[in-house]
Amino acid sequence: MPGSVPAIEGLPRYTTWGAVPAELLTKTQLAQQDPPLKPGGNPVGQVLYHGNCYAPLYPLGEAVPKRGATPAQRAALDRARELQHQCRRCGAHERNPLGKGRFCDPCRYAMTMWEQHDQAQALARELVADPAAVLLVVDVEPDLLPETQGVAVVAVHDRHLLYAAPAGEHGSPERCAVLDRLDSLLADRRVVEEPDHMGPSRRYPQALLLLPNSGPVVSGRDPLHPWAAHASSANASVARVWASWYGFTDHPSSTHPCIPEYGAAIPWTRSLDVAADAQSMVGLLHRIADGTEPVWERAAWTMDGYGVGEPGPARGRAALSGGRN
């Protein structure tokens, strides 16, 4: 119901239904006649209802019979109404109409999870095919020996190690040289981060810019070092791509794919050798791109036996990929 229906200029107005002449009826009132009627001409008056709406009034004497539906049309309408209660993916019959798409809640959930899975593969294929895409892995743990701290950059396309070096201590010439090298190497590159899981925050690129033990890494971009973006849409994350591909959720009704709890088998390495870690993660992106990486055995679109259904046409990957650097 609209908020208000303005009056039609030039027509008589009746402010109460009791003031309306008996020979003037609205469209609804004409349709309720036996047999049903419809207006035969233009309105000749209007009546106020709901305080701010005007309904046009038509002469009863000028009304004409309203054409009824044929038996075939009625049957088609009845069938269409019935289908509004039937899921077109699994065939389940619901009490209330299913609305646009005509999918029940379990099927809608499964299809949402599958679409994210499909988008993850599309993003992995984009990254693998992009010669400018690189994976950046860092380790700047201040409590470990200096030789265990390092930075590695691997080309996603051909898995070639582009750069590997000790990270150096914060504020040292070695650290400044690393930052300068990353600024040069990653300029105009599509940077992929290592997994945003299994901690700690020192493994994020932005940790290279912070003092040791300075607290959690905040999200956002550094204007001088745009590659050092954490928890933002600037850079994709291997973990987010894999989680959407794998299809695991920690709640039966959640459509947010996530990483399984600690102790589960995670298909990438996390070691003191950051170069090996980076190449392991790039290999994971390649397996997702070619479809050989396993999915969760209880992934929603595989459990009910109805397949992927009919996912929507949108293939946007903003939730996974973000923009380019």
> 5: which strand partners?
53
Helices (H), 130-264: 173-185, 238-246
pLDDT of 313 higher than 60: no
Binned at pLDDT 50, 70 and 90, residue 316 comes out as very low
Could you give the C-alpha distances from 147 to 168, 214, 257, in angstroms and in order? 9, 22, 36
How many angstroms separate the CA atoms of 46 and 8, rounded? 8
Question: Which pLDDT value is given to residue 315?
Answer: 38
How many angstroms separate the CA atoms of 88 and 102, rounded? 6
Question: Which pLDDT value is given to residue 197?
Answer: 59
How many angstroms separate the CA atoms of 167 and 174, rounded? 7
Two tokens, residue 157: 């396309």
How many angstroms separate the CA atoms of 24 and 13, rounded? 12
Mean pLDDT across 213-225: 62
Binned at pLDDT 50, 70 and 90, residue 144 comes out as low
How many angstroms separate the CA atoms of 40 and 77, rounded? 26
How many angstroms separate the CA atoms of 316 and 59, rounded? 55
Among residues 108, 118, 114, which one has the least CA distance to residue 253?
Answer: 108
Could you give the C-alpha distances from 32 to 58, 62, 66, 78, 189, in angstroms and in order? 14, 16, 10, 21, 69
